[in-house]
């Protein structure tokens, strides 16, 4: 995986992040989702590295990045804390301004990074998500049935006991296999889900989602705060965003100032299942952003 990319550990504040980076050109930060690690990008990153310097970290608590102790409000696993990690990482690597793309849980970090640090983020791509506050405000029986894991993962202690009793059974699915993911990517994922500390951290990510992250989103909604940079939204045709929300772009419109996007013919893990389509969508979007002068 990741031919010509550099693998290293970078300490930023209270965490050490495992990252891979490579390529040449304008910087692009790629953020994975649950229960993946940065290796989920192994089919996309080399394509993007033809035009960009691509940085793929494990989020805090995921993969081989630091698992930090939590607090009663779960703030150490808030998307604001994770976004601050990413800003510090990019500055450590010498990138004061950069584009960011995130999938699944990583999309919430990317979104928070763009909201909290508008001077740093030049372009935002979110994949297979709507804002956490939006999802919870719109929650109905269909959402609760399809995304029940949000509420199960937020419970104390029980999810850890269930998942750690048999991680392979919990995460068993056709798309979670060496054939679908690629052997090395699967091995990294498999190692992560068998580490009880990583499982704990991944669950804390969800607990933060239903508490402190929702508070942050709701506060931004109340003040009308929006993403200042151009935003692209991508969603999988075989996932359920259209089923739940109809017009996905319409959900994002109040949160953005310049919005575009569309569907990717794929199931949920689009970076693994439709890497060429994802890379093409990102490359085209970022080229259009680069050709448009930013407002002073």
List active site positions. 104, 268
- The DSSP code sequence of the chain is --TT-EEEEEEETTEEEEEEEEESSEEEEEE--TT--GGGGTTTHHHHTTTEEEEEEPPTTSTTSPPPP--TT-GGGSHHHHHHHHHHHHHHTT-SSEEEEEETHHHHHHHHHHHH-TTTEEEEEEES---HHHHHHT--HHHHHHTHHHHHHTSSSHHHHHHHH-HHHHT--TTSSHHHH-HHHHHHHHHHHT-HHHHHHHHHHHHHHTTHHHHHHHHHHHHT--B-S-EEEEEETTSSHHHHHSSHHHHHGGGBSSEEEEEESS-S-HHHHSHHHHHHHHHHHHHHHHTSPPP-
Q: Tell me how far apart the alpha carbons of residues 229 and 119 are, in angstroms, rounded to a whole number.
A: 9
Q: Tell me how far apart the alpha carbons of residues 175 and 23 are, in angstroms, rounded to a whole number.
A: 28
């Amino acid at each position: 995986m990741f031919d010509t990319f550099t693998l290293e550990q970078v300490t930023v504040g209270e965490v050490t992040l495992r990252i891979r980076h490579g390529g040449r050109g304008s910087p692009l930060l790629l953020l994975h989702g649950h229960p993946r690690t940065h290796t989920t990008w192994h089919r996309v990153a080399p394509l993007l590295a033809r035009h960009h310097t691509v940085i793929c970290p494990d989020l805090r608590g995921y993969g081989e990045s630091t698992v930090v102790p939590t607090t009663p409000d779960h703030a150490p696993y808030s998307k604001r804390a994770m976004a601050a990690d990413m800003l510090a990482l990019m500055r450590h690597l010498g990138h004061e301004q950069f584009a960011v793309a995130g999938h699944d849980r990583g999309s919430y970090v990317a979104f928070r990074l763009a909201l909290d640090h508008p001077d740093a983020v030049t372009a935002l791509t979110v994949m297979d998500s709507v804002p956490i506050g939006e999802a919870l405000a719109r929650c109905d029986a269909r959402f609760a049935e399809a995304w029940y894991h949000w509420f199960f993962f937020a419970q104390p202690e029980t999810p850890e006991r269930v998942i750690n009793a048999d991680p392979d059974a919990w995460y068993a699915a056709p798309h979670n296999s060496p054939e679908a993911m690629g052997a090395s990517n699967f091995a990294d994922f498999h190692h992560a889900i068998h580490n009880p500390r990583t499982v704990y951290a991944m669950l804390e990510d969800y607990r933060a989602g239903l508490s402190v992250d929702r508070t942050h989103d709701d506060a931004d909604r109340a003040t009308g705060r929006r993403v200042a940079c151009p935003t692209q939204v991508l969603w999988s045709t075989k996932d359920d965003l259209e089923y739940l929300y109809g017009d996905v772009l319409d959900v994002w419109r109040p949160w953005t100032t310049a919005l575009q996007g569309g569907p990717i013919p794929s199931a949920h893990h689009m970076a693994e299942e439709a890497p060429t389509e994802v890379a093409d969508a990102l490359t085209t979007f970022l080229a259009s952003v680069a050709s448009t002068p930013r407002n002073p």
